[in-house]
Chains A and B, each alone.
Chain A
Amino acid sequence: MLDYSEVCTTFSWEAVRASLQGLPNNSGLNIAHEAIERHANGPLRDRVAIRWLGKKDTSLELTYGELQAGSNRFANLLKQLGVNKGERVFWLAGRIPILYSVFFGILKTGAVFCPLFSAFGPEPIAQRLERGNAKILVTTERQYRKKIEPLLSRLPELESILLVDREEKLNEWVLSLPQLMADSSSEFTIPPTDPEDKAILHFTSGTTGMPKGAVHVHNAVLTHWITGRYVLDLHPEDVFWCTADPGWVTGTSYGIITPLLHGVTSIVDEAEFEIQRWYQILEQHKVTVWYTAPTAIRMLMRASADVREKYDLSALRLIHSVGEPLNPEAIFWGQRVLGLPIHDNWWQTETGGIMVANYAALEIRPGSMGKPLPGIEAAIANRLPDGTLQLEGDEVEGELVLRRGWPSMFRAYLHEQERYNTCFVGDWYLTGDLARRDTDGYFWFIGRADDIIKTAGHMVGPFEVESSLMEHAAVAEAGVIGKPEPTIGELVKAFVVLKPGFSASDELKQELIGFGRIRLGSAVAPKEIEFTDNLPKTRSGKIMRRLLKARELGLPIGDTSTLEGSAS
């Protein structure tokens, strides 16, 4: 994209659809066809689609042709296991090569892929498997033994578990994936797929209830395709590296689908962040376009500048970041140390793809989210007492809203129509993020409109954490907030009221931190515990987390007229 304004005026989703191939004989639109089949049946067949880098310095390359065969095998074995269209197949493992065959195999059959983050503990896993009616789970033996086996009685709908790292089955329904793959045919024809057929289910945290399953459909591929072009600026010769884990939406939309749609080579690193390893990957694999997150950038910034100087990053031409607002210092650091500015963009699980971005073709406004994607109408709005929306002009704070109907918009919260409906007012989707728009049309993030915590780029619902802590014998009540922290944005902090007979101590604090880590896993568990005698509550008994946060930050506590115990 060379001229943002011009593209915005001439843009049409119909034209985007026309640039995709569609299934043969006009039988619909399937993400797997656009990402894999289209290339595997053409000149890119032998091109490396995925270059996987293992933790122990091993590596593996998968071509588009190999991904076609692998995903066909997985599709066939799902059919043998009796998985029907729309049924959910869950993934609980890290970034390993079989993921790509599993992902596209599921989409080929018309079943739905649902990823879980490997650092979730048994409780978040059980919640999501139950709510998502998991029929099949693909996982590792270690995850199975540590977290799944103890949960089995809660999961009556789960029919088979496929272990990626076992050569033989454990029993009649805990099976060996490599064995099943070997016995499965590599020929498969994608059945007719309606663009509105469900494809992916992503759980995201709620502020008041348990996690919500955002449903995405095959038509989302239009957004994936166009953001790959306009935002990521992918060209066929690019080497692209998205550092996100498939447990989160960035890891599927941009870690799996988008680079393959554009026929590029996608780097996948199995290991966690490590400074020299990351610089080495950028250098050695000549990464040209890099999509990462503020937490990682801030960790790179912490290292002394001479570390970066050891590496040749001359292949790199574009850097993007997502997850939480990137502070201007980080953008300037990119320019100074990496030789390139960092382009921040904004979107969320519900939007399915990037919605607001700083583009290569536009001046970066450091600290801003950027401008809406062509084809996306974004606005700032405030709710009026009668429930309608008032759209605001420039420089007014309000909620960021998007005009409904873009292809990757979530189509439902699974089994929760009411909760879905409350996200919309008229034609507008309410994002829950507060922002403002400047006079040049750039959007600026202000904060969340609700209590959801954003830690290391991931959303954590306070309710889920509070519920889990309250299962500890010593805990009477808990209130959970995001405490600002410079590297990870916010850390999960719990205020705990103890039951009579228990007294506050460092030992108990440690015990609760350990309890949280066991139940919830490290990605969700509180990192800080503070004992308190009472929690501020509304008269209806709801914990006022806003007040807890103000107290934590030493801010004025604002309007407390609805507070329990306040004068009426």
Chain B
Amino acid sequence: MRRYFGRKLLVYGLTFVVAVTVNWMIPRFMPGDPVAGMVARANVSQPAAVEAMKQYYTGLFGFDQPLWRQYLNFWGALLHGDFGISIWVFPTPVSDVIMGAVPYTLGLMIPSVLLSWVVGNRLGAYAARRKLMDNTVLPIGYVLTAMPYMWLAVLLAWGLGVVAGLFPIAGGYSFSMQPNWSAEFLLDLLHHWALPFASLFLVALGGWAIGMRNMIIYELESDYSTYLAALGAPHRLIRRYAFRNAVLPQITGLALQLGVLVAGALVTEIVFSYPGLGSLILKAIQNQDFFLLQGTFMFIVLGVLAANFIIDIVYVVVDPRTRAGMAGAQA
């Protein structure tokens, strides 16, 4: 088990280093001069002002220092939690801006991801080898999983929000309210949360249901199922065993899907102007706020790595073979 976690941690550590390096390299080695670009975007015509801005940005990035020094400085700042100053909401530090948005994104993602995984698995397991259910779950599953996240979000916002008028379609809470812990505000929060949650939940649901259905069919064809059936075991028991085996690849699948799920949450937030990381990214892009964009990138990578590690732990808890040091999860 120590070997298993050792390998995993090595991969995550390396991934983090690669992500930080990419984050550091892109502004420096991409074609074009980012400093000139930023100055040009500011639309300043006075030569003196242009010169001053150039110097300011050069100093900010530390471009006047040797490359290895810049790289070390970058790591140093990062480990101090210093992501720079946001240009969009100058002069708030990027880390503060991100911290304000993270609770919304997590509040949206954690319930929708977990719930769609659980419900999707149940649905898929139930549909497998049952003609009628299979013929409804499968096509719906394929349509849902092929949908772009933002499109379902737009459809729900339009249908349930604009046409039916049941849900608000923008913001994390009503603009007339101030965040506090009153029941009224929490209800309002929940009301705004419902549609983005539903759209994330639905798109992810299809993939899990299809995956589980295929896994169950595969498990029901395996030798142990046939043997149990030959012994005269009830179908429910065989299905339960099949489910327990089929859940393992679905756990791995959850880890593999994290990137897609994060991407889905980001675009869904943009549709609903939900005040999470997605809207932050949109603002950062619109305002050419590269510090904010890079900070958000680092944050997403860290979040995905942490989630991966949690899933690894869950896998060890669920699958005893990994604990015994036998073949189980692939590193």
Q: Do A and B bind each other?
A: no
Instruction: Report which B residues bind A (CB closer than 8 A).
Output: none
